[in-house]
Structure 1
């Protein structure tokens, strides 16, 4: 578990399934992910994330707002398997927040803490983040948490149609300081 001033990043609870499904089914969220998830797909995603956390001790943690104990999304780290995407294998930084939690700095606050945790505890020389080239808000979060663009690794997302507006993805990276 990671705590910040306004967030708790933690494993999931059964009671998180409804708000998690609402997040994944929201068209404003799905706009940046290539579509929404129905309840079955959302539950399956939560199960995969929770299994990753159970196996590794880290993952895309539930992001709970401390002020009201509400699940507002997820923030954390995941693995990109070799061959799954053009940048794999890699450790990926990621977040997904409910629209009413956008714009208040929660993504930056949680991502900064998760990135610092990952660089301190995961045996990897770097952590990457990627998003659609048009997702300027996510790119701004990446810059605010200290990640830098790595244009040589930008890619076309293989699961999106060639004419999909999010197909082109940009890659940002945070590297472990030398000697650490």
Structure 2
């Protein structure tokens, strides 16, 4: 079982009892406003999302982690890696992504978890390159991306929802761990 410990977090595979707290995070319109069409999602969609993340772990050897607070055991959200096929020009690129519940914003948890995940991708899993895709105007994600040392590669348009997107990337030769 893959698990990463940071000073304040445990990044781990998903447990059955993670469904309800992750569904609560996904039901928050403020959390979801930068994701997909910006709509909150319910319990069934959250279960399907976690199932897809776990299948990717089995298929790819990486996936999206559950983010647990080390001090309390509370589920703070998700961070991880996923193969991106839905955006033109990014076929089979590995994307880093994160989603934390709003009570956990502004405390550095997203950056801490994303940094550990990027290190896992480039050093442990041997990936040569990782991208991030964020909606234009999502300044909080932009801050995390900047802290990861990722550089703007290009702008794009979400083919499904029409939003302006920023695609950032970093490769193994640029990574400073």
Q: Compute the TM-score of the two structures, normalised by the length of structure 2.
A: 0.91
How many aligned residue pairs are there?
Answer: 169
Which stretch shifts more, 129-138 or 27-36? 27-36
Determine the C-alpha separation between the residues in 2 that align with 1:63 and 1:120.
20
Give the SS at the match of 1:150: strand
Q: Does 1:140 align with 2:143?
A: yes
Determine the C-alpha separation between the residues in 2 that align with 1:136 and 1:143.
10
Unaligned runs of at least 5 residues, structure 2: none
Q: Does 1:73 align with 2:77?
A: yes
The alpha carbon displacement at 1:32 in A equals 1.2
Aligned counterpart, 2:129: 126
Q: Compute the TM-score of the two structures, normalised by the length of structure 1.
A: 0.90
The alpha carbon displacement at 1:146 in A equals 1.3
1:129-167 Cα offsets, whole Å, 9 max, x none, are 01101101101100101111112xx2100121x4xxxx0
Unaligned runs of at least 5 residues, structure 1: none
Q: Supply the RMSD in Å over aligned alpha carbons.
A: 1.3
Segments of 4+ moved more than 2 angstroms: 54-57, 121-125
Q: Describe how 1:43-122 pairs up with structure 2 within 5 A.
A: 43-81=47-85, 84-86=86-88, 87-122=90-125
